[in-house]
Amino acid sequence: MAPVVIRLDPALTPIEALSRFSGAPHLCLLQSAATEHPLSRYSYLAADPVALVNTNAEQWPSVRAQLRATFAPKADIVPHLPPFQGGWMGWLSYELAPAFDETIAHSRRPFSIPDVGLGLHDWVIAWDHAQGNIWLISSGIDHSGKRDAKRAGVRADAVLQQWQQAPLVRNRAADTGPTNAPIVADFTRAAYETAVQRVIDYVLAGDIFQANLAQRFVVPFPGDPWRLYRELTARTPAPMAAFIQRDAMAIASASPEQFLRLDAASGRVETRPIKGTRPRDSDPQRDALLAEELIASEKDRAENVMIVDLLRNDLSRVCRPGTVRVPTLCALESHPTVHHLVSTIVGELEPGRDALDLLAATFPGGSITGAPKLRAMEIIGELEPVARGVYSGAIGWIGLDSSMELSIAIRTITLTDGFASLHAGGGITALSVPSAEFREALDKADALLASVNA
């Protein structure tokens, strides 16, 4: 059964559409917010899912079975439309990792955030920014993935009514905002630099090649999550931005990093790890010098290459032999607040494998763990005082045909219990300087903290 497909007009932006659907339950926006970035082609908005998954790593086998039950190899995916045409949207927290390797243990959890937060969406509004089109796609699926033409039409009509209504008027007076609210960090500067030195010691002892160390910042936040997301994407437009609101919690993400992209029809897999960062400068000459310094940095290049090797190995576990390759190594990518080094690794999934096999072979992403991955994660667990939650997990979609696109959840703020929580960090190698690593973490956190306090 083909889905109901309606071309929408007027041409609302994703942010404008978000304001019209902000009262809908379990809202999810995946937005290409950096217009010039090569990954910024599609955006997706959905709400009111037909099924919800909110659970922890121990329940992953039943979650996996539930997701697979909705996959249909011959799902009615309409060609020439955006690739996500209904399916699962949401997040996978960093602490989901033990589901894929039982030797990994996490004992500390921040707040009450599920390791898996996914909704099964029977309709989606999809933007193709390259072609300037907006589509409403209503599949008619129920909680088990079964399609029904009548249901598809009814749901499409309800979404159209919401699309055409006036935007929700927000009460600005009620949004007191947390201007100049105190920021609580889990590390002092001295403690963070000591932790960095511990990682360096592990590297020199031969335990690891590198590990990604992060610190958490917590700020009281009585404000409007939607406004925070709008502020965040205005300050740091990102190709894989996301806003998720579910009951009393919300997630605002401005991630520049693609974790996994899978095209189920061709089996093509892509991952684009980021390692290596310098801040931007308002002076063009100083900014160019910072970019040149990053490109020439032995430490940053070595860090990137190590993670490329790790991800090549991860992909090789589920890809056809000989298909994993690196078309781009350590390319400079400039964002509004930072310069990055980005590499691209591609492969072809083995026949009989699906998105969940790919996820099991690669989660969590190597760029936010280290190498070797399992030992690096043990060291992270030893040195970081709190669990990571959504940070450095993944946000994105898994389609009804088993296609998938996920970001690495960096530049991500979690809002719960009246607080905004965010992490920032970087990869530590033998060439790291503790004071410089502390400064890099703050450079990454600055724009997020400014958005919270705007």
Q: Determine which one of 95, 231, 257, 333 is catalytic.
A: 257
Kindly state the tokens that stand for 441.
Answer: 């973490």
Annotated active-site residue 95? The verdict is no
Angle between helices 355-362 and 298-316 (to 10 degrees): 140
- The Cα 188–Cα 171 span in angstroms is 37
End-to-end, the C-alpha distance of the chain in Å comes to 48
CA neighbor of 129 nearest in space, from 239, 29, 19: 239
Q: Determine which one of 275, 303, 333, 440 is catalytic.
A: 275
Annotated active-site residue 257? The verdict is yes
Kindly state the tokens that stand for 134.
Answer: 């907006």
- The Cα 143–Cα 120 span in angstroms is 7
Helices (H), 278-398: 284-296, 298-316, 355-362, 373-383
Q: 407: helix, coil or strand?
A: strand
- The Cα 346–Cα 361 span in angstroms is 14
- The CA-atom distances, in angstroms, between 450 and each of 16, 25, 415 are 22, 28, 15
Q: 68: helix, coil or strand?
A: helix
- The Cα 59–Cα 350 span in angstroms is 26
Asked whether the beta carbons of 333 and 341 are under 8 A apart, the reply is yes
- The Cα 230–Cα 227 span in angstroms is 5
- The Cα 237–Cα 229 span in angstroms is 11
Catalytically active residues, by annotation: 257, 275
